[in-house]
A and B are shown apart, each in its own frame.
Chain A
Amino acid sequence: MSKITGNEIIHQYLRHNKKFPHVLCAGCGHGIVLGTLIRSIHSLGIPKDDVVVVAGIGCSGRLAVYVDFNTVHTTHGRALTFATGIKMANPKLNVIALMGDGDALSIGGNHLIHAARRNIGVTALVLNNNIYGMTGGQSSPATPEGSVTMTNPYGQLDRSFDTVELAKGAGANYVARGTVFHVNRLEKIMTEAIGRPGFSLVEAITPCHTQFGRKNKYKSSVDMYKWLKSTAMSVDRYNELPEEKRGDRLPIGVFVDRDRPGFEEVYYAMQADFLKPTVKGGK
């Protein structure tokens, strides 16, 4: 028997009755993230029926339509709220919220903070391409300072958001960052994230050459992958670096790994206590 290749795994999980080709640009990293997500679910052996992918709006939001799970394409920034309702209604489901950086950090920032604080058992996957891609390249909270966008023709003035620090501060159970260049590591942290109880967040750095790279210093999409390769470094090595040498380096890896039970577990345990048949007297 021949070995099953990665492509064959992915084909089992795509919707072949759906309109292909997909909407993503050549050089986009979103497909790589979706591939790692599928392989993670496959390696965990979770049946398709038990997976719900809840997506927001934008390029990342469109990914849900291609995969053969239960998929919900929600309103802008609200994926986590829909995911919270689904998880509370049926805690057996593996709920994965797929969001972009604008989706998760800007319009959906409040929901992200509170999903983490509540520790609802949802895996949040933030596809950070530093820009509003589908809307035409306007700046997002994750756009690096100084970058040029459609709404920052003279350079981004405010500081860019650190998703990992935000999720840590809000109390997420598991927080990790990966890039689409470091695919195997991304797959590993995604598998871990899905397996953890409570709220877990994975930030996947994925390049948008069409809207971001082109206007900044990256001549081709390949340049953007080279940038990921040269910028990202493991969080352990990053922590050992002296402050002045850190510069623009991007730490990747696992930042928080706790084992607290999810909100739904705590809630249903309380309910089980209420519903316990009371033993009266007895003989």
Chain B
Amino acid sequence: MPRRKKRTEIFALGNEAVAEGALLAGCTFYGGYPITPSTEVMEIMANRLPKTEGGVFIQLEDEIASMGAVIGASLAGRKAMTATSGPGFSLMQENLGYAIMAETPMVLVNVMRGGPSTGLPTCPAQGDVQQARWGTHGDHPIIVLSASNVQECLDMTITAFNMAEKYRTPVILLLDEVTSHTREKIELPNPGEFEVFSRTVPSMPPEWYKPYEETVRGVPPMPPVGSGYRFHVTGLTHDRNGFPTQRPEEVVELMDRIHRKIDQFFYDIQLVEEIQTEDAEICVIAYGCVARSAELAVHQARQNGVKAGLLKLKTLFPYPRRHTEKVLAHAKTLIVPEMNMGQMSREVKRVTMGNAAVRTINRVDGQIVTPSEILKVIMQG
């Protein structure tokens, strides 16, 4: 057996890990507009992409333009991304909806900061959870991922690109300021040690190609613009040929397919980490930097003889329902600590359907939820 090549270790910020992950995943296009606390992602891409074969970095005039350029680049066959924070994320929402409708792969990193409005620019928060789910207009599926440490920032960025390409959809990586600005030692995986997925391109001759045709996975192949497959891309509800339609049966077919292509692959998309959940009577459900506080609280509770566990969400949407249901087999209490007024606890309550008590810990003062706060609630039972 060949010896595994030693991995490169670096000491990196969460935001730096995001940029490294993007480059490892094959990202060759970054379009963006600087905003705290996401800026380091952009700065590293500005440094690295021009020196990468074919890599394009462009600073646009605003966040709306950034999303437009990223979608355009993706249509032209690039793996493309942008990074932003709260107010910029709001500006991107209309074009995010366009990317969902036109089934354009891309990665959007949102490093959450305190809000609403300009809020607490340099303070951590988790206030964009429901904006990530429902920020754009209309009914739509979405994939939202998260990370709670620097290594995960790298890993989840690669995962985000893979999912975007696999399912032809924008993927949101939702981080918080603490995770983005924490510096930790991480390992860069060697090429070949991780999966790199690229979109399926059509193999049939152009005259047979239908850009939005039904397939087994619900994901039609996607050729780059200018490669001989000429078709119409639109944000309007369209038929299989990509032309606008208002015929009810064609509208329903499209809406069903874009939902189904995400929903049916829940085992691939819904990622969690289970820490001592096998026999947990009290289970904490957390994500982002709060999950780190929760992990310590759970260990301390176990030392005190309480059967506590942690379900760490790496995928926020589609909400990892089956993992929660598994925990509910023995957990009588679920605790959801968050740095918002309770945006994820809504999801937990929805899935719990009254089968367990759901307790919330909420902070919106720009401070993180501490282990002792969580431990206190665990000990109350």
List A residues at the B interface (Cβ < 8 Å): 15, 17-19, 48-50, 52, 54, 64-65, 68-75, 78, 80-90, 92-93, 110-111, 113-114, 267, 270-271, 274-275
Contact: A70 with B80, CB < 8 Å? no
- Cβ of B167 within 8 Å of any chain A Cβ, yes or no, is no
- Per-position 1/0 for B65-84, Cβ under 8 A of A: 11111111111111010000
Q: A86-B225, A114-B61 are in contact. Are A74 and B69 (CB under 8 A)?
A: no
Contact: B98 with A75, CB < 8 Å? yes
Contact: A86 with B95, CB < 8 Å? no
Q: A17-B241, A75-B95, A92-B226 are in contact. Are A81 and B68 (CB under 8 A)?
A: yes
**The one of A65, A110, A113 that contacts B243, using a Cβ cutoff of 8 Å:** A65
Q: A17-B241, A85-B80, A110-B61 are in contact. Are A270 and B50 (CB under 8 A)?
A: yes
Q: Majority SS of interface residues in chain B?
A: mixed
Contact: A88 with B73, CB < 8 Å? yes
List B residues at the A interface (Cβ < 8 Å): 29, 31, 50-51, 53-56, 58, 60-62, 64-78, 80, 94-95, 98, 224-228, 230-236, 241, 243-244
User: Chain A's nearest CB lies how many Å from the CB of B327?
Assistant: 41
Q: A18-B243, A65-B243 are in contact. Are A74 and B226 (CB under 8 A)?
A: no
Q: Enumerate 20 A-B pairs (CB-CB under 8 Å) in ascending A order.
A: A48-B230, A65-B232, A68-B230, A70-B230, A72-B233, A75-B98, A81-B64, A82-B71, A82-B75, A85-B72, A85-B73, A85-B76, A85-B80, A86-B75, A88-B73, A89-B29, A89-B78, A93-B76, A114-B60, A271-B55
Q: A75-B98, A81-B69 are in contact. Are A65 and B234 (CB under 8 A)?
A: yes
Contact: A75 with B235, CB < 8 Å? yes
User: Chain A's nearest CB lies how many Å from the CB of B244?
Assistant: 7
Contact: B235 with A90, CB < 8 Å? no
Name the B residues within 8 Å of A110 (CB-CB).
Answer: 61-62, 65
Q: Closest residue to A90 on the B side, CB-wise?
A: B76
Contact: B69 with A85, CB < 8 Å? yes
Contact: B69 with A90, CB < 8 Å? no
Contact: A70 with B61, CB < 8 Å? no
Name the A residues within 8 Å of B233 (CB-CB).
Answer: 71-73
Q: Closest residue to A85 on the B side, CB-wise?
A: B72
Q: Closest residue to A65 on the B side, CB-wise?
A: B232
Q: Majority SS of interface residues in chain A?
A: helix
Task: Tell me the bound Cα distance from A135 to B67 in angstroms.
Answer: 25
Contact: B230 with A89, CB < 8 Å? no
Task: Tell me the bound Cα distance from A84 to B59 in angstroms.
Answer: 11
User: Chain B's nearest CB lies how many Å from the CB of A10?
Assistant: 17
User: Chain B's nearest CB lies how many Å from the CB of A23?
Assistant: 10
Q: Closest residue to B62 on the A side, CB-wise?
A: A110
Q: Closest residue to A120 on the B side, CB-wise?
A: B58
Name the A residues within 8 Å of B94 (CB-CB).
Answer: 75
Name the B residues within 8 Å of A70 (CB-CB).
Answer: 225-226, 230-231
Name the A residues within 8 Å of B72 (CB-CB).
Answer: 54, 72, 81-87, 89
Q: A48-B230, A85-B29, A86-B73 are in contact. Are A73 and B236 (CB under 8 A)?
A: yes
Contact: A74 with B235, CB < 8 Å? yes
User: Chain A's nearest CB lies how many Å from the CB of B346?
Assistant: 29
Q: Closest residue to B70 on the A side, CB-wise?
A: A85
Name the A residues within 8 Å of B58 (CB-CB).
Answer: 84, 88, 267
Task: Tell me the bound Cα distance from A70 to B95 in angstroms.
Answer: 20
Q: Which of B62, B74, B95, B233 has the most CB of A within 10 A?
A: B233
**The one of A72, A73, A78, A275 that contacts B53, using a Cβ cutoff of 8 Å:** A275
User: Chain A's nearest CB lies how many Å from the CB of B351?
Assistant: 34
**Additional pairs, 8, CB under 8 Å, beyond known A75-B235, A89-B80, A110-B61:** A52-B225, A65-B234, A70-B231, A72-B232, A75-B68, A82-B72, A84-B31, A90-B76
Contact: A49 with B68, CB < 8 Å? no
Contact: B69 with A49, CB < 8 Å? no
Task: Tell me the bound Cα distance from A274 to B47 in angstroms.
Answer: 12
Contact: B68 with A82, CB < 8 Å? yes
Name the B residues within 8 Å of A82 (CB-CB).
Answer: 68-69, 71-72, 75
Q: Which of A69, A75, A83, A90 has the most CB of B within 10 A?
A: A90
Q: A73-B235, A274-B51 are in contact. Are A78 and B68 (CB under 8 A)?
A: yes
Name the A residues within 8 Å of B54 (CB-CB).
Answer: 271
Task: Tell me the bound Cα distance from A75 to B244 in angstroms.
Answer: 14
Task: Tell me the bound Cα distance from A84 to B61 in angstroms.
Answer: 12
Name the B residues within 8 Å of A75 (CB-CB).
Answer: 68, 94-95, 98, 235
Contact: B230 with A90, CB < 8 Å? no
Contact: B65 with A78, CB < 8 Å? yes
Task: Tell me the bound Cα distance from A49 to B231 in angstroms.
Answer: 10
Task: Tell me the bound Cα distance from A121 to B232 in angstroms.
Answer: 22
Task: Tell me the bound Cα distance from A64 to B244 in angstroms.
Answer: 11
Contact: A88 with B29, CB < 8 Å? yes
User: Chain A's nearest CB lies how many Å from the CB of B189?
Assistant: 25
Lowest 4 A-B CB distances belong to which pairs?
A85-B72, A81-B68, A85-B69, A89-B76
Contact: B68 with A74, CB < 8 Å? yes
Q: Closest residue to B244 on the A side, CB-wise?
A: A65
Contact: A52 with B226, CB < 8 Å? yes
**The one of B51, B60, B77, B228 that contacts A89, using a Cβ cutoff of 8 Å:** B77
User: Chain B's nearest CB lies how many Å from the CB of A30?
Assistant: 17
User: Chain A's nearest CB lies how many Å from the CB of B92?
Assistant: 11
User: Chain B's nearest CB lies how many Å from the CB of A93?
Assistant: 5
Q: A114-B61, A267-B56, A275-B53 are in contact. Are A84 and B69 (CB under 8 A)?
A: yes
